[in-house]
Amino acid sequence: MADKTLLIQSSARKPGSVTRKLASDLAAALGAPVTERDVSAGLPLIDEAWIAARDAGAENGAHDLSDELIAELRDHDTLIIAVPVYNFAIPASLKAWIDQIARAGETFRYTENGPEGLLKGKTAYLVIASGGTPVDSGWDYATPYLRHVLGFIGITDVHVVAADSLGNNADKVLDAAEARIAQLAQPLAA
């Protein structure tokens, strides 16, 4: 059993959100204490002041939120990201979270052999829901992007719970997603 789970919620929908429900079900099935971060209301975007502070190595408060989000990520063994697919990709609020946590020298570094992720040894779960975009299809830009970003920061143990193409057969899709959650939690129960 993992020591602590960080659950990132990104759906703009609160009640009735498929990703919120499935991600909460997964967190409960994994059985570890959960810290929830809801980014759906938005986070500050990377701007000129943020970049200038980074380039100057300045401690002027521009990176305070980024530092907090990175510390939160470092402090947890398991990451669950609840991802509704909006227009074939992730919500803008989730992209802002990624921009805040993907920082050279903090979550990755450049080496003579290329970039190296610094958050190794963590497990991530992507809980993805869409109305019509099948996960890992040619027009799913969310899942491969998230796998890439997580790998870039060192998180390579990534599992997917898909509730995709809900517009076609929601009951069947949700049953399959719940079965996947049970499957993922099973090794922990043994």
Token pair 């043994």: residue: 190
Top-tier CATH class for 5-189: alpha beta
Looking at residue 62, its pLDDT comes to: 85
Looking at residue 60, its pLDDT comes to: 78
- Write the DSSP assignment of 164-185 as a string of letters: --HHHHHHHHHHHHHHHHHHHH
Using one digit for the tens of pLDDT, what is the confidence trace for 46-69? 999 888 888 887 777 889 999 999
Yes or no: say if 40 and 10 are a contact pair by the CB < 8 Å rule.
yes
Task: Indicate if the alpha-carbon torsion angle 67, 46, 133, 9 is positive or negative.
Answer: positive
CA–CA gap between residue 146 and residue 152 (Å, rounded)? 10
CA–CA gap between residue 150 and residue 165 (Å, rounded)? 24
CA–CA gap between residue 146 and residue 89 (Å, rounded)? 10
Distances (CA, A) of 173 to 33, 100, 126, 146: 28, 33, 16, 21
CA–CA gap between residue 68 and residue 43 (Å, rounded)? 12
Looking at residue 87, its pLDDT comes to: 93
Residue 78 burial (10 A CB sphere; 0-12, 13-18, 19+):
buried
Distances (CA, A) of 60 to 45, 52, 106, 108, 161: 17, 10, 17, 22, 40
Using one digit for the tens of pLDDT, what is the confidence trace for 116-160? 999 999 999 999 999 999 999 999 999 999 999 999 999 999 999
Using one digit for the tens of pLDDT, what is the confidence trace for 75-106? 999 999 999 999 999 999 999 999 999 999 99
Using one digit for the tens of pLDDT, what is the confidence trace for 2-54? 489 999 999 999 999 999 999 999 999 999 999 999 999 999 999 998 888 88
| Domain edges within the chain | 5-189
pLDDT category at 190 given cuts 50, 70, 90 is low
